[in-house]
């Protein structure tokens, strides 16, 4: 083949151009145009309480502030850590006691001063750990050492590096660290020591200090109506790609979910949650994309194992029998219309610590059988009598077993589930009376407890001898878990758990929780094994009947692009855009 000089030159030129183009493609990102207003629908009651997030106890306040200030790290839908304000990963010392955090060097407050390691350390030492401010979650930053609770030790190393040193190993402390957001020292010092002034500080309540730390800037907040943010053109993650791509981001509060879904249907809002019974309708709409995503929420029936619950509930076999009689797949199918999955412990299947093969799957075939449940109750020493065709379970004194199930009113799902449980237990000869009580009454009279005759203050767990003011046997409640650090559920299932209101005390469970949160858990494989054991033990012990992990349905207008549906769907929301 003969190639002329001209052709050779042309080929070289073409090849060079292609190489340059491909290199350009590797090093630069095509900037998208920012346009439009994204309106997220939210139902009344879910609104944030304050933008001065350090004072908040609710999750929404942290979420609202999170649009304007990034935390140290976030997670994608597979729980991979996505670094945000960090230049590099947090380094953990081999002994698990020291954490070295290096932040980016291009972070700026609104007065253009740099965000430094000093701001982070100041936030911890002078605000979160202080007595005058009473940060709600300061226990997250404490550890037990020498018989008392002490704070971890933060220390500035240089402009962009600080360390946090612990006296004891807690492998899951790193997740607390990832969520850390700084307060600007240059503003905070003005209010230091005066909680009233700090609470009312305009800079904090209007997020006017946030500089280039978040994709959006605060614009307006009319309580019970809307939270308005505008695009932050200086956002540190938007330098290369031009993100975020919405000119405005609004969270609009609507009175009911019916109105919210009507607003989505009419195109008045861009995104909102969709109730299970409306999913099919929205899926048929050309303008709407519906995604089903896992959540952190699960439902349980608690078994009162304290002295004022039915004595049978203090026995593992009885709890197992009852759990076996309640069909979780029916709950998933009939009540959640398929948008849930059976639960067997507090570790969801979406968690990296979930192990499917170790758990006892009570309430799901083949371990969902009324016949087997009745046999288990018989082997536990309980007898049956007949009333016509109906079997009646008798307690040790020969009286029919009648259990009281307490729950809160106002939710169709809870009401349907209570009635289903009543029916299921009726089939194994247990009569269930359902009692609806308001949340505060449920907490005070049924969940809080104390040792009778003592001068203890009411708490959710005052030890094994404590009982609630009113007797109860079962309670139906919804809980949340953290898939990344499920050991936080020790608050319910450990003997000293602050919310162990149902009185479950098991040394083996306590030891496993302790091991996970000690140097034994530093090795991730070892920790996974411990979580596997814990899930098995919990599913066997059945301190509660884990019913279902719920899934959420969310609807977006179809012209929204860049969404990655999943449990942490919002992690890349600054990259969402209109087509």
Q: Applying CB under 8 A, which residues contact another protein?
A: 44-45, 47, 49-52, 55, 57-59, 133-140, 195-196, 199-200, 205, 222-226, 252-256, 258-259, 262-263, 265-266, 268, 296, 439-441, 443-445, 459-460, 478-482, 485, 487-492, 498-499
Distance CA 440, CA 408 (A): 9
Taking the least distance from each CB to another protein, the nearer of 79 and 384 is 79
Taking the least distance from each CB to another protein, the nearer of 43 and 367 is 43
Taking the least distance from each CB to another protein, the nearer of 17 and 136 is 136
Distance CA 233, CA 242 (A): 8
Return the HEC string of 340-380.
Answer: EEECCCCCCCCCCCCCCCCCCCCCCCCCCCHHHHHHHHHHC
Kindly report the number of other CB atoms within 10 A of residue 142's CB atom.
13
Taking the least distance from each CB to another protein, the nearer of 83 and 499 is 499
Residues 6+ apart with CB under 8 A from 196: none
What is the token pair recorded at 118? 């000093």
**Looking at the chain, how many residues does it have?**
579
The minimum distance between CB 338 and another protein, in angstroms, equals 25
The minimum distance between CB 329 and another protein, in angstroms, equals 26
What is the token pair recorded at 140? 């997250």
The minimum distance between CB 452 and another protein, in angstroms, equals 19
The minimum distance between CB 68 and another protein, in angstroms, equals 15
* Strand, helix or coil for residue 486: helix
Taking the least distance from each CB to another protein, the nearer of 311 and 496 is 496
Q: Tokens 């630069």 sit at which residue?
A: 28
R_g of the chain computed on alpha carbons: 28
Residues linked to residue 155 through DSSP beta bridges, in sequence order? 163
The minimum distance between CB 136 and another protein, in angstroms, equals 5
DSSP tag of 458: P
Distance CA 460, CA 289 (A): 43
Residues linked to residue 82 through DSSP beta bridges, in sequence order? 74
Taking the least distance from each CB to another protein, the nearer of 211 and 486 is 486
What is the token pair recorded at 277? 């019974």
* Strand, helix or coil for residue 98: strand
The minimum distance between CB 363 and another protein, in angstroms, equals 23
Taking the least distance from each CB to another protein, the nearer of 216 and 382 is 216
* Strand, helix or coil for residue 38: strand
What is the token pair recorded at 435? 């009692």
Contact 558, 533 (CB under 8 A): no
Angle, helices 412-426 vs 316-325, to 10°: value is 110
The minimum distance between CB 213 and another protein, in angstroms, equals 20
Taking the least distance from each CB to another protein, the nearer of 48 and 467 is 48
| Alpha carbon distances (Å) from 502 to 77, 308, 345, 439, 496 | 33, 10, 16, 16, 12
Taking the least distance from each CB to another protein, the nearer of 394 and 499 is 499
Taking the least distance from each CB to another protein, the nearer of 175 and 384 is 175
Distance CA 448, CA 79 (A): 35
Q: CA triplet 474, 475, 480: central angle to 5 degrees?
A: 135
Kindly report the number of other CB atoms within 10 A of residue 144's CB atom.
10
Taking the least distance from each CB to another protein, the nearer of 187 and 380 is 187
The minimum distance between CB 320 and another protein, in angstroms, equals 25
Taking the least distance from each CB to another protein, the nearer of 295 and 369 is 295
The minimum distance between CB 42 and another protein, in angstroms, equals 11
Please measure the distance between the N-terminal and C-terminal CA atoms of the chain and give it in whole angstroms.
49
Residue 289: which of 576, 579, 568, 563 has the closest Cα? Answer: 563
Residue 471: which of 490, 447, 488, 493 has the closest Cα? Answer: 447
Taking the least distance from each CB to another protein, the nearer of 105 and 139 is 139
Contact 559, 311 (CB under 8 A): no
The minimum distance between CB 211 and another protein, in angstroms, equals 21
What is the token pair recorded at 265? 């249907």
Contact 567, 351 (CB under 8 A): no
Taking the least distance from each CB to another protein, the nearer of 180 and 237 is 180
The minimum distance between CB 273 and another protein, in angstroms, equals 16
Distance CA 60, CA 336 (A): 25
């Amino acid at each position: 083949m003969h190639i002329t000089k001209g052709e050779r030159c042309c080929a070289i030129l073409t090849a060079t151009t292609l190489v340059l183009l491909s290199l350009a493609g590797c090093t630069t990102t095509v900037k998208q145009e920012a346009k439009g207003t994204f309106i997220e629908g939210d139902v009344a009651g879910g609104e944030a309480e304050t933008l001065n997030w350090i004072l908040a106890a609710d999750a929404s306040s942290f979420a609202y502030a999170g649009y304007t200030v990034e935390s140290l790290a976030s997670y994608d839908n597979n729980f991979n850590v996505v670094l945000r304000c960090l230049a590099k990963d947090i380094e953990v010392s081999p002994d698990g006691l020291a954490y070295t955090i290096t932040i980016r060097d291009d972070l700026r407050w609104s007065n253009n001063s740099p965000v430094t390691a000093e701001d982070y350390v100041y936030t911890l030492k002078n605000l979160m750990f202080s007595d005058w401010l009473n940060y709600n979650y300061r226990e997250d930053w404490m550890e037990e050492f020498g018989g008392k609770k002490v704070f971890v030790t933060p220390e500035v190393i240089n402009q962009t590096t600080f360390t946090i040193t612990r006296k004891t190993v807690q492998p899951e402390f790193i997740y607390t660290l990832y969520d850390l957001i700084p307060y600007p020292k240059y503003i905070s010092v003005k209010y230091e020591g005066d909680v009233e002034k700090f609470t009312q500080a305009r800079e904090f309540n209007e997020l006017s200090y946030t500089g280039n730390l978040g994709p959006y800037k605060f614009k307006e907040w009319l309580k019970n109506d809307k939270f308005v943010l505008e695009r932050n053109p200086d956002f540190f993650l938007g330098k290369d790609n031009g993100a975020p791509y919405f000119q405005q981001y609004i969270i609009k509060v609507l009175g009911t979910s019916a109105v919210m879904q009507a607003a989505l249907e009419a195109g008045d809002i861009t995104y909102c949650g969709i109730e299970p019974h409306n999913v099919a309708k929205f899926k048929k709409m050309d303008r709407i994309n519906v995604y089903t995503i896992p959540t952190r929420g699960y439902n349980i029936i608690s078994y009162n194992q304290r002295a004022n619950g039915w004595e049978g509930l203090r026995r593992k076999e009885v709890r197992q029998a009852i759990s076996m009689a309640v069909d979780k797949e029916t709950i998933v199918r009939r009540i959640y219309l398929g948008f849930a999955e059976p639960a067997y412990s507090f570790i969801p299947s979406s968690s990296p610590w979930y192990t499917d093969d170790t758990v006892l799957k009570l309430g799901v075939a083949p371990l969902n059988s009324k016949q087997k449940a009745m046999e288990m109750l018989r082997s536990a020493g309980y007898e049956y009598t007949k009333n016509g065709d109906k079997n009646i379970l008798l307690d040790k004194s020969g009286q029919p077993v009648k259990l009281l199930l307490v729950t809160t009113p106002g939710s169709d799902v809870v009401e349907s589930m209570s009635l289903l449980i009543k029916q299921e237990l009726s089939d194994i000869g247990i009569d269930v009376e359902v009692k609806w009580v308001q949340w505060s009454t449920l907490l005070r009279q049924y969940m809080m407890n104390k040792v009778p005759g003592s001068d203890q203050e009411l708490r959710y767990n005052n030890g094994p001898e404590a009982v609630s003011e009113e007797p109860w046997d079962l309670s139906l409640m919804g809980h949340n878990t953290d898939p990344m650090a499920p050991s936080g559920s020790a608050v319910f299932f450990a003997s000293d758990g602050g919310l162990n209101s149902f009185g479950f005390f098991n040394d083996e469970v306590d030891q496993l929780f302790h091991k996970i949160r000690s140097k034994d858990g530093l090795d991730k494989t070892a920790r996974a094994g411990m979580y596997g054991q814990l899930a098995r033990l919990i599913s066997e012990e059945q301190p509660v009947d884990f019913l279902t992990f719920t899934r959420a349905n969310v609807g977006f207008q179809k012209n929204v692009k860049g969404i990655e549906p999943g449990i942490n769907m919002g992690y890349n929301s600054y990259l969402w855009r209109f087509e």
